[in-house]
């Protein structure tokens, strides 16, 4: 006898989606993609209000609903503030995409404490706080999708990025653990691990890195967003605790 499937489908679920770091790059592409799927979207940003407003305007021009939300995810109160504001306007957050991230590269001997702390607080601690806060309405609804943007740097060595690698490896480990904790309640928790993607965050990296990519090109934010769209969908209801590499074969 087949087990009963818990919770509503994405189309019957009434709620919203929050994407952090959504004023540009991967986050902006994810926000637009989820809005096209019918989700009202919170476009979270730290400093660039003009870019966030442009993302919102683009979504609304295509018939979607969105709002810009200012906040530094490294702040201890930010998770509550962002989700409270989004819930007030669009209902409970049933899709969370933790995309906000920073780099502060350097060899381990030269990474200062403040550079270590900033990367860990933003990339890992911020992701945890938002996940913890978002789980409440998801568990109540018996439906939820959390997608964490990790990196292929997490499970592999990348000299000069000890802090970044530690933060992203932590995100992958946290993803697996939380997924196991909430799976029976209709909530999935997965990660995507981009490789070399053409964004502002990677524009200062050496072009020689492309030689190591079997596809011989950088990925696009839209290609990452397509993977997030699947993991946030009802079709991915039986996928949880997974990390999907989006890297042109680099980690193969």
Q: How far apart are CA 127 and CA 96, in angstroms?
A: 10
Residues 6+ apart with CB under 8 A from 112: none
In the chain, where the domains are located: 16-246
Beta strands per DSSP E along 26-169: 41-45, 66-70, 93-98, 144-149
- The question of whether 164 is a catalytic residue gets the answer yes
pLDDT exceeds 50 at position 9:
no
What average pLDDT does the structure give for the chain?
A: 93
- Provide CATH code, domain 16-246: 3.40.50.720
Pick the catalytic residue: 45, 143, 164, 238?
164
Sheet holding 93-98, edge to edge: 66-70, 41-45, 16-19, 93-98, 144-149, 187-194, 243-246
**Predicted confidence (pLDDT) per residue in 63-112, tens digit:** 999 999 999 999 999 999 999 999 999 999 999 999 999 999 999 999 99
Of the candidates 207, 209, 192, the residue with the CA atom closest to the CA atom of residue 151: 192
Between these two residues, 218 and 184, which has the higher pLDDT value? 184
**Predicted confidence (pLDDT) per residue in 144-159, tens digit:** 999 999 999 998 888 9
In this structure, of 94-98, 186-190, 209-213, 219-223, the range with the lowest mean pLDDT score is 209-213
Range 229-251 average pLDDT:
96
pLDDT at res. 211: 82
């Amino acid at each position: 006898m087949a087990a009963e499937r818990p919770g509503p489908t994405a189309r019957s679920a009434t709620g919203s989606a929050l994407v952090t770091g959504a004023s540009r790059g991967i986050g902006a592409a994810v926000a637009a993609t989820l809005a096209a799927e019918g989700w009202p979207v919170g476009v979270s940003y730290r400093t660039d209000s003009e870019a966030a407003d442009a993302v919102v305007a683009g979504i609304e021009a295509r018939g979607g609903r969105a709002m810009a939300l200012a906040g530094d995810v490294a702040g201890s109160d930010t998770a509550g503030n962002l989700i409270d504001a989004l819930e007030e306007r669009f209902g409970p957050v049933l899709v969370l995409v933790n995309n906000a991230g920073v780099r502060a590269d350097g060899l381990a001997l030269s990474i200062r404490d403040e550079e270590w702390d900033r990367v860990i607080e933003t990339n890992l601690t911020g992701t945890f706080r938002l996940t913890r806060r978002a789980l409440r309405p998801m568990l109540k609804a018996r439906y939820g999708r959390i997608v964490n943007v990790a990196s292929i740097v997490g499970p592999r060595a990348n000299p000069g990025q000890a802090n970044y690698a530690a933060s992203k490896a932590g995100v992958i480990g946290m993803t697996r653990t939380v997924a196991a904790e909430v799976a029976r309640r209709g909530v999935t928790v997965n990660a995507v691990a981009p490789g070399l993607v053409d964004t502002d965050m990677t524009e200062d990296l050496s072009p020689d890195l492309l030689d190591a990519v079997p596809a011989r090109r950088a990925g696009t934010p839209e290609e990452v967003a397509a993977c997030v769209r699947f993991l946030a969908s009802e079709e991915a209801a039986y996928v949880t605790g997974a990390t999907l590499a989006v890297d042109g074969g680099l980690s193969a």
